[in-house]
Amino acid sequence: MKTDEDVKAIKQVGEEYFEATNLGDENRCIATMAPDVVIMPPDRPSIVGKEELRRLSREYHAKFELSYSLVYDEVEVAGDLAFARASVTGTRTSRSDGSVEKLLWRNLWVLKRQADGKWRFWRIIFNSAIPSPAA
């Protein structure tokens, strides 16, 4: 059964993640993740665990300046698990050449209430709503 407090807390996890991402704050990004997080990005192998995510985040933030905006489409709660469907729009600017890529991500997140009662990202899958040039 979902409560208003759960929905608010779940939405705050995503808001915190994207605020931290926009600032390039790797530690705040990682703090939104469960220790056994699994992220399934498009066209790449899954990212398993916080340490692998930390390494890849460091590399990603070194290459790009990010500006994302988050809109929740749906949040549902079932006990200690929840899912959120959200859209993320924004830009990714290359630090090497200044090129700007517009982004529109569709996200499906599974969050898990941790032993301390806080919600954290547990499983993440996302893809682009912008067709690739080859499509």
Per-residue pLDDT tens over the stretch 45-91: 999 999 999 999 999 999 999 999 999 999 999 999 999 999 999 99
Residue 70 is assigned to a structural domain of this protein: yes
**Checking DSSP bridges between strand 81-94 and strand 100-113, what pairing results, if any?**
antiparallel
Residue 133 is assigned to a structural domain of this protein: no
Q: Report the helix count and the strand count for the chain, using DSSP H and E.
A: 3, 6
Residue 80 is assigned to a structural domain of this protein: yes
Q: Tell me the average pLDDT across 94-103.
A: 96
- Show the domain range for 59: 4-128
Contact (CB, 8 A) for 65 and 41? no
**Checking DSSP bridges between strand 119-128 and strand 33-40, what pairing results, if any?**
parallel
Contact (CB, 8 A) for 96 and 63? yes
For the domain that residue 37 is a member of, what is the CATH number? 3.10.450.50
Structural domain total, the chain: 1
Helix (H, G, I), strand (E, B) or coil at 135: coil
Residue 135 is assigned to a structural domain of this protein: no
Per-residue pLDDT tens over the stretch 6-25: 999 999 999 999 999 999 99
CA 8, 40, 117, 28 dihedral sign is: negative
Residue 17 is assigned to a structural domain of this protein: yes
Contact (CB, 8 A) for 11 and 75? yes
State residue 131's pLDDT score: 80
Q: How many CA atoms lie within 13 A of 44 on its CB side?
A: 12
